[in-house]
Structure 1
Amino acid sequence: MTTITLSSAAIKNMFEQLHHNFGGSLSVNVKEHILTLDNELGRGHIRGITFKGGISYLEFDMEFSEDVTLRTGTDKNAPICFAYCSEGRIEHSFNNESERHTLENFQTGILTNESNAVNTLYFRKDVRVNTSLIVVKTVGAEQTEKRNGLNYRLQERILKGKTAENTIYIGSYNLKIADQIKQLKAIKQQGIVRSLLIEGLVHMILALEVQQHTDDLKNQENQTGSLNTREMESVREISSFVHNYPERQLSIAELCRKSGLSPCKLQEGFKLMHGTTVTDYIREVRIIKAEELIKNTDLNISEVVYSIGFTSRSYFSKIFRNKYNCSPKQYKDKQNMMAVSA
């Protein structure tokens, strides 16, 4: 087992210590730190970035070759940590306590600390883990000038004016957050554009975590719904299939056969992940694909309509107008005009 103790929670110092202990290669892009490992200790990367206002994002996308324990202390005003596990599982304990809490695949968690507490994360050998942590600095009683900021509002939402204690809240399964993290990983831009895109998605993930916590409190009798982890994974696979093959005429019955889920569970999963029904999701995927084809190809409108699985051009025009506030032809004409002027 390898045990690492980090003396600082500041991203820059933290990554210097991680680099010193784990080896690998450390790169810094604007304020984003990425430690890439491919050695006897493990493979993967650890990423961290700090934004204005005291919000930081940490991501562990790792598979260690041995058990790894990571210990880090907190300040007098200990932060609130919003956690999400999109692959594998991770364990946590406070100080030197023997009790461990487990965050499983697709689960949300909220961690609060008393002053100067120590947090310990446990990574099991040969288990691929992808865990994201959003760390929110709290505002001290004397920092009255910061009480209009996002940090203070989140602090009031979670702590409700009480003094922070060592508590961990394990919430429901949530596939929407996994989708946002997937988009975050897909960012190819560099420099300030990359930083802005990451910050926007991190705030979206944070909003979804807070909403999940609110929803869970309203329905504590049924925190995780009726779907288990395997069934949630099936919903994600079916979502990817629909996204990759929008032109196919997909029925609920066919998707149920492919996923092994009942119609009720399939619909429940799409409601959890996308906030909509299976049919509405298929239509949304097709209309977005159509917009891409109109913008980036020479296909005429009829060819676009039939290439994405619609059978009625008038129906397509209606839902396209509802989404983009113009007809497909007007949209294509506008794109052509922009191309000429460029």
Structure 2
Amino acid sequence: MKTIYIRTTKIDQIFNKLSSSFGGNLEVLSNEFKLALNDNVGKGIINGITFKNGISYLEFDVTLNETLILSLYSTKRLPIYFAYCTKGSLAHRFGDSDQEHVLNKFQTGILASKRAEESILTFKKDEPTRISLIVVNTMISENVEGFSLNQKLRNAFFENDTKESAVYIGSHNLKISEKIKELNAIKHTGIVRNLMMKGIVHLILAMEVQQRADDLNRLNNTTGSLTKKELETVKEFSEFIVNYPENNFTLKFLSRKSGLSANKLQEGFKILHNRTVRDFIINERMKKSEELIRTTDLNISEIVYSIGFTSRSYFSKIFKQKYNCSPKFYKDSQNSLAATA
């Protein structure tokens, strides 16, 4: 078992500590940090970036040769940690507590304290783990960009509350996973890269805050009547629909193929996508149709049938509802742009 003590929220100091503890190769480009682990401690990458508004983003994508205890001590900045698990699991407890909370795959976790307190994160040995961590410093100077936002985040957890600390482990959320994929897929450099990363990190932060609010409204009913295995099945079929939206997916067909009842499928899609099965299929077909209009020479009728619709008028109606213009207008606009390029 290995323990690393981190007593700062400054990204450069965090990575210097991780680098001295793990070894490996540390790369620094502008305000981004990337630590590639060596084979002695495990495999994987730890990434990090900091922004000017007291917010930092770290991602651990690792498989470690021994259990890691990461001790984060809340300094006078009193940070709130917004965590998301894409792979594996992560355990958390406060230093003066024996109560441990576990963050599992596709779950959000928010860790906050009113006073300087130790947050202890445990990464399991030999378990492929991918954890995203947004660190929000709540005690920053009033003249620092983001002061108002950071204070509001803090008040959301402790206003009119006598608790000294708060831990929230949320329900399963695939949308956050998709945003993390977008974050990792950014190929731009310089100011464009920084702005895009900052925008997506703020969006992830907003989604985690909203997730907490939604869960509280559902009285913290994390997964309803579905097991984690059943949610995994729903996710697999969701991805199949995304890849092949033109297929004739019916609720009966999906139920037979997945082994889940129609009610469980509907519940799973509401949990993971906040949509019914039918609405999810239509939405994916609309996204595919927009791509085809923009990138191919197919006419509208050809696109309608290629994405699984049989009625052009119905397609035009829901396309306009989603994109606020007719598919013909959108295609003509694309052609006009091509002509003037």
For 1:45, the equivalent position in structure 2 comes to 45
For 1:3, the equivalent position in structure 2 comes to 3
Runs of 4+ in 1 over 3 A off after TM superposition: 96-99, 143-148, 161-164
Task: Summarize the alignment of residues 101-116 of structure 1 with structure 2, pairs less than 5 Å apart.
Answer: 101-116=101-116
Q: Does residue 34 in structure 1 map to residue 39 in structure 2?
A: no
Q: Does residue 200 in structure 1 map to residue 199 in structure 2?
A: yes
Q: Does residue 81 in structure 1 map to residue 81 in structure 2?
A: yes
Scaled by the length of structure 1, what TM-score is found? 0.91
Structure 1 residue 38: Cα displacement: 4.6
Structure 1 residue 212: Cα displacement: 2.1
Distance 1:27 1:260 in 2: 47
Asked if structure 1 preserves the Cα contact closer than 8 Å seen for 2:8 and 2:75, the reply is: no
Q: Does residue 156 in structure 1 map to residue 176 in structure 2?
A: no
Return the letter of the residue paired with 2:121.
L
Distance 1:287 1:268 in 2: 22
Task: Summarize the alignment of residues 78-227 of structure 1 with structure 2, pairs less than 5 Å apart.
Answer: 78-95=78-95, 97-139=97-139, 149-160=148-159, 165-220=164-219, 222-227=221-226
Structure 1 residue 292: Cα displacement: 0.9
Provide closer, same or farther for how the CA distance between residues 238 and 186 of structure 1 changes in structure 2, counting only shifts above 3 A.
Answer: farther
Structure 1 residue 98: Cα displacement: 4.4
Distance 2:29 2:340 in 1: 34
Task: Give CA deviations for 1:90-119 in whole Å, capped at 9, x if unaligned.
Answer: 112222654432112222222112433222
Distance 2:75 2:60 in 1: 22
Task: Give CA deviations for 1:114-147 in whole Å, capped at 9, x if unaligned.
Answer: 433222211111111111112111137xx56679
Asked if structure 1 preserves the Cα contact closer than 8 Å seen for 2:170 and 2:222, the reply is: yes
Return the letter of the residue paired with 1:127.
E
Structure 1 residue 244: Cα displacement: 0.4
Return the letter of the residue paired with 1:208.
M
Scaled by the length of structure 2, what TM-score is found? 0.91
Structure 1 residue 150: Cα displacement: 0.6
Q: Helix, strand or coil for the counterpart of 2:186?
A: coil
Q: Helix, strand or coil for the counterpart of 2:37?
A: strand
Provide closer, same or farther for how the CA distance between residues 35 and 103 of structure 1 changes in structure 2, counting only shifts above 3 A.
Answer: same
Structure 1 residue 237: Cα displacement: 1.1
Task: Give CA deviations for 1:67-89 in whole Å, capped at 9, x if unaligned.
Answer: 11222222123111122212211
Return the letter of the residue paired with 2:275.
T
For 1:257, the equivalent position in structure 2 comes to 256
Q: Helix, strand or coil for the counterpart of 2:224?
A: coil
Q: Helix, strand or coil for the counterpart of 1:116?
A: coil
Distance 2:268 2:180 in 1: 18
Asked if structure 1 preserves the Cα contact closer than 8 Å seen for 2:76 and 2:139, the reply is: no
Structure 1 residue 249: Cα displacement: 0.9
For 2:58, the equivalent position in structure 1 comes to 58
For 1:69, the equivalent position in structure 2 comes to 69
Asked if structure 2 preserves the Cα contact closer than 8 Å seen for 1:94 and 1:119, the reply is: yes
Task: Give CA deviations for 1:287-315 in whole Å, capped at 9, x if unaligned.
Answer: 11111111111222222222211112222
Distance 2:187 2:262 in 1: 37
Asked if structure 2 preserves the Cα contact closer than 8 Å seen for 1:87 and 1:105, the reply is: yes
Deviates more, 1:210-219 or 1:291-300: 210-219
Deviates more, 1:26-35 or 1:143-152: 143-152
Asked if structure 2 preserves the Cα contact closer than 8 Å seen for 1:80 and 1:138, the reply is: yes
Unaligned runs of 5+ in 2: none
Q: Does residue 20 in structure 1 map to residue 20 in structure 2?
A: yes
Q: Helix, strand or coil for the counterpart of 1:149?
A: helix
Task: Give CA deviations for 1:42-71 in whole Å, capped at 9, x if unaligned.
Answer: 112112122232111121111112111222
Q: Helix, strand or coil for the counterpart of 2:139?
A: coil
Q: Does residue 293 in structure 1 map to residue 270 in structure 2?
A: no
Structure 1 residue 156: Cα displacement: 0.9
Structure 1 residue 36: Cα displacement: 2.2
Provide closer, same or farther for how the CA distance between residues 269 and 322 of structure 1 changes in structure 2, counting only shifts above 3 A.
Answer: same
Return the letter of the residue paired with 1:335.
Q
Asked if structure 2 preserves the Cα contact closer than 8 Å seen for 1:67 and 1:125, the reply is: yes
Distance 1:186 1:235 in 2: 25
Unaligned runs of 5+ in 1: none
Structure 1 residue 23: Cα displacement: 2.2
Percent identity between the aligned chains? 51
